[in-house]
Structure 1
Amino acid sequence: MPTAQPPGATTDDSPPTGIHREILRLAVPAFLALVAEPLFLMADSAIVGHLGVNELAGLGVASAALLTAANIYVFLAYGTTALVARQLGAGRQADAISAGVDGIWLSIALGLVTTVVVAIAARPICDVFGAGAAAADQATTYLRISAFGIPGMLVILAATGILRGFQDTRTPLLAATIGFTCNIVLNFLLVYAAGLGIAGSALGTVIAQTGMALGLIWVVLRRARRLGASLHPHPGRVLAAAVFGIPLLVRTLALRAAILMTAWVAADLGDVPLAAHQVAMTIFGFLAFALDALAIAAQAFTGKALGANDIAGTRAATRLMLWWGWWMGVVVAVLLIGTHRLLPLIFSSDPTVRHALGAALLVVAAIQPVAGLVFVLDGVLIGAGDGRALAYLQVAVTVVFVPILWVVHAHAAVLRSDGASYALVVLWCAFGALMVLRLIALGWRARGDRWLVTGA
């Protein structure tokens, strides 16, 4: 059974030999793989954005709903990484891969159920955002088709979690690179050459994601056979994996609720702010995944170190990755400030959308150093299996964030009269407050010792 390390149990806080190299070995491929996921959406945005404002605004609504439907199950990656890494640290490779295979079976079951729900309820889901009728029509088309890619998205999460737990971030990188390349080609051909419009973009992404999932399953199954692990589903263990993921599910739901409420307020500000917000959130997601590479390294390293009873190594790696997270955030912020006028030209031909997006990107840039710290702390605590605390903290943060967002909503009419750019800047300042609240909550938790639980 895991045991909590008492405060002060170790006095050696110096970084273990080779920790820099180990973190880089995990983080660099993870960075390249992670940025591929938002690149799927960025490619959609760039291609669909030139179809018109309604199509881009519709994509904003549909993508927010789709990402919510898939990302609430992010525990399939995060929880699996922590479980597999702990077993690996304890020297139990067969048990590690067995836990991962159960995660894949769980992802398939959850994916099929979610596909049915989202496909049937696509129109009501899109109507919740309050976008205009034309934008809602486009959103419904995209979401209904994209729903069939959800099983593949969840399998990718589970399989990637297994590989990360085994300290392998290169294979997910290869899969993401191939998938992203196919996604761009398919979307361009289906949207323009085949004349399918926004439906073609959705279909191309579904095909690419499903192909990625099949490739990753093949890799995992090969490893399982090599280690002599069973490939059959074990209902008890699958259920245990689901129960283990509940706290992370609650944490993710609370976080996605905050993001969805932000999109809802953006829709209330008008179609132009909504379209610009969709692109700004896509870019923020891209940058978040880039910074989250350190969080992935933190998950894998923390789980393995705690599984091997290495408290000193866990603490040293946490401090080092926080330092990297801050400075990576600063570098990303500088790059975004330098390109905030260029990026809008890629995503829209509408001058009002471009102007609003350019203004919002300056706020997005200001958030990045804080985001770098938040993502590292999140990864460390997830890797430690501290899901229950993460759930409580994120729910509390979301509760505090709601009044801040409500103030923006209450003044929507005034903000609209002051122009789309001003309205969007205010909205993104509110979103920045959410990140600061997360930093305070996670930092408070990490300063203590209750999350330092050792053993397999």
Structure 2
Amino acid sequence: MVNVCKADELGVEIVHIALPTLLALVADPAASLIDTAFVGHIGPVELAAVGISIAVFNQVSKIAIFPLVSITTSFVAEEDTTEPLSTKEQVYEEFENANSVNKEMEVLKPLVDSMPSSITNDSREMVKLEHVRRRIPSASSALVIGSVLGVIQTLFLIFAANPILNYMGVDSNSPMLRPARQYLTLRSLGAPAVLLSLAMQGVFRGFKDTKTPLYATIVGDTVNIILDPILMFVLHMGITGAAIAHVISQYLISLILLWRLNKQVDLLTPGIKDLRIGQFLKNGGMLLVRVIAATFCVTLAASLAARQGSTSMAAFQVCLQIWLAASLLADGLAVAGQAILASAFARKDHSKVVATASRVLQMALVLGIVLSVILTVVLKFASRLFTDDINVLHLISLGIPFIAVTQPVNALAFVFDGVNYGASDFAYSAYSMVLVALVSILCLFLLSSSHGFVGIWVALTIFMSLRTVVGFWRIGTGTGPWSFLRE
């Protein structure tokens, strides 16, 4: 633990990647929390309806998002590390196609001519100038797959809204059905933008550039927050306005990222044969299994809460949003670990692999402890920001201890995911999560039936604890990509 705050080269690199990612990840749940607060003042039924709709949307989205983003980050980081430097002729050709080629060539030609035939990785990074667009086939592959999956998700949610909501416990007699269907259908129109923007975030993460996604997310979420009260209360659109505001913000984020990415990467260069569709689908299939298993547990928990009534679902929605918003802060460290580890594994730099994994896990534990303390203090006074309903507030008070105490475990679980993805250990991640999910699903059914709302949160605590255990087991036993630890 002595190295956790050490400001050496590795520590600075992790912070430079993790901090913007952390802020971007905070921005989106923060916007969702503000949405929840606005909707909560319309009424508990609407709050519960939006909660169940968001749970459905997130379940379907995560099936595609996490495999796509995780694989894209690893593949792009590997390609950016191992891709040979463009030849002098290729560099000249890029500049000859630019509008201001003459002046740029006068300055840069001596530099290019003086470059040695063998250049270190660090030097190669310096020569990748902004106006020389990179050729990264994985970037184009991610955008193609993200766009297709986004359209499929929209069509699926629109045409299957009723049966999905019925499965989630919202039957035809429930007052939640109409507002839940309305919100889910409208929000599904933003699915193509969501998947496309997150695919591009995976590309930027692979380049170790997490500032660009942060700026785009802040702009989009700010627009969402501004539009919420205008559409919901000024124009009296209710939860329809909340859904429309969210969709507009997602398309804005996507357009900003596409504009920025097109300046850095030649997205049209790869032909069909150059696209890594096969590798995306193979490894994506592994992570697809993992994501389905993981998100099914959370969605099942939401479904069990909905079956207990709108009051239970409303309280669960508030607790879940806070729980995820706090826990996902560790994803900033997970992204930093994944990007650095993917590059280190590609170079077979095992010393940096060990140092990076150790450092990000130490940071995760410290972050979790800090979050636990902060949430314990803050949530006692912040619950009324989300609802005025006494019964909902009572259930929220029962969930607060679980939200706060589980933060160190949650942080380690998320960072272990990033470590395994950085090692491209997708198969282990999938199989271990299936085992964890089977145990957790059993706990959810047993504990929810015997202890109600509290039982659901006990089961979710078990779920996250098991995820941490299987993450540690892989490295601790020195198996798979970590076999070099036993040599």
TM-score by length of 2: 0.84
Matched, 1:330 2:369: yes
The root-mean-square deviation of aligned C-alpha atoms, in Å, is: 2.0
Matched, 1:297 2:336: yes
Alignment-derived partner of residue 118 in structure 2: none
Residue from 425, 446, 451 that aligns with 2:481:
451
- 1:381, 1:390 within 8 Å by CA — same for their partners in 2? yes
C-alpha displacement of 1:212 = 0.4
1:34 maps to 25
Distance 1:16 1:173, change over 3 A: closer
- Structure 1 match to 2:210: 169
* Partner of residue 138, structure 2: 99
| Cα distance change on mapping 1:394 and 1:282 into 2, 3 Å | same
User: TM-score scaled by structure 1?
Assistant: 0.90
Change (3 A) 1:441 1:42: same
| Structure possessing the higher radius of gyration over alpha carbons | 2
Matched residue SS, 2:290: helix
Deviations 1:406-438 (A, max 9, x none): 112433xxx4xxxxxxx4233211110001111
The counterpart of 2:221, out of the listed 153, 176, 180, is 180
Secondary structure (helix, strand or coil) at the match of 2:276 reads: helix
Aligned match of 1:54: 45
- Aligned partner letter, 1:69: V
Q: What is residue 253 of structure 1 aligned with on the other side? A: 292
Q: Distance in 2 between matches of 1:27 and 1:400?
A: 32
Q: Which amino acid aligns with 1:51?
A: I
Q: Tell me what 1:437 maps to.
A: 466
* Residue aligning to 2:454: 425
- Cα deviations by residue, 1:350-375 (Å, 9 ceiling, x for unpaired): 12112211221221111100111111
Change (3 A) 1:117 1:92: farther
Q: How does 1:191-206 map to 2 (within 5 A)?
A: 191-206=232-247
Residue in structure 2 matched with residue 160 of structure 1 by the alignment? 201
Q: How many Å apart are 1:96 and its aligned residue?
A: 6.4
**1:207, 1:318 → 2: CA distance?**
38
1:123 positional shift: 1.6
Q: Aligned pair 1:70/2:70, yes or no?
A: no
Q: 1:235 to 1:319 in 2, by over 3 A?
A: closer
Determine the C-alpha separation between the residues in 2 that align with 1:158 and 1:141. 27
Deviation at 1:191, TM superposition (A): 0.8
- Measured after TM superposition, the shift of residue 131 of structure 1 is 3.4
Are residue 127 (structure 1) and residue 166 (structure 2) matched? Answer: yes
Shift of 1:95: 7.6
Structure 2 residue 111 is matched with structure 1 residue 82: no
Shift of residue 177 of structure 1? 0.6
Following TM superposition, by how much is the alpha carbon of 1:185 offset from its aligned partner in structure 2, in angstroms? 0.9
Contact 1:16/1:316 (8 A) holds in 2: no
Paired amino acid for 1:451? P
Amino acid aligned to 2:458: C
Q: What's the counterpart of residue 420 of structure 2?
A: 381
How big is each residue's C-alpha offset from its partner over 1:366-402, in whole Å with a ceiling of 9 and x where there is no partner? Answer: 1100111111111010111111110000000001112
In the TM superposition, what is the alpha-carbon distance from 1:232 to its structure 2 partner? 6.2
- Cα distance change on mapping 1:453 and 1:138 into 2, 3 Å: farther
> Is the partner of 1:262 in helix, strand or coil?
helix
Q: How far apart are residue 136 of structure 1 and its match?
A: 2.0
Does the CA-based 8 Å contact 2:189-2:247 persist in structure 1? Answer: yes
For residues 59 and 357 of structure 1, what CA distance do their matches in structure 2 show?
17
CA contact (8 A) 1:88 1:307 kept: no
Cα distance in structure 2, aligned partners of 1:186 and 1:234 = 44
Return the alpha-carbon distance in structure 2 between the equivalents of residues 452 and 87 of structure 1. Answer: 21
Once the two structures are superposed, what CA deviation does each residue of 1:316-340 show, in whole Å capped at 9, x if it has no partner? Answer: 1111111110110010011100012
**Cα pair 2:448 2:455 within 8 Å, conserved:** no
In 2, distance between residues paired with 1:82 and 1:95? Answer: 17
Q: Deviations over 1:244-276 (max 9, x none)?
A: 311111111110111111111111222211101
Amino acid at match of 1:75: P
Deviation at 1:101, TM superposition (A): 1.5
**1:273 paired residue number:** 312
Task: Confirm or deny: 8 A CA contact 1:105 1:233 kept in the other structure.
Answer: no
Q: Distance in 2 between matches of 1:224 and 1:360?
A: 46
* Runs of 5+ consecutive residues of structure 1 not aligned to the other structure: 1-14, 416-422
Letter in 2 for 1:249: L
1:16 & 1:335 partners in 2: Cα distance?
25
The CA distance in 1 between the partners of 2:218 and 2:284, in whole Å, is 28
The answer (yes or no) to whether the contact 2:134–2:264 under 8 Å persists in 1 is no
- The letter for the 1-side match of 2:480 is R
- AA in 2 matched with 1:170: K
In structure 2, relative to structure 1, the CA distance for the partners of 1:358 and 1:231 (3 Å cut) is farther
Q: How many corresponding residue pairs?
A: 428
Provide the C-alpha distance between the structure 2 equivalents of 1:288 and 1:108, rounded to a whole number of angstroms.
Answer: 28
The AA in structure 1 aligned to 2:82 is: A
What's the % identity of the aligned pairs? 31
CA displacement at 1:38 relative to structure 2: 1.4
Where in structure 2 are there 5+ consecutive unaligned residues? Answer: 1-5, 86-132
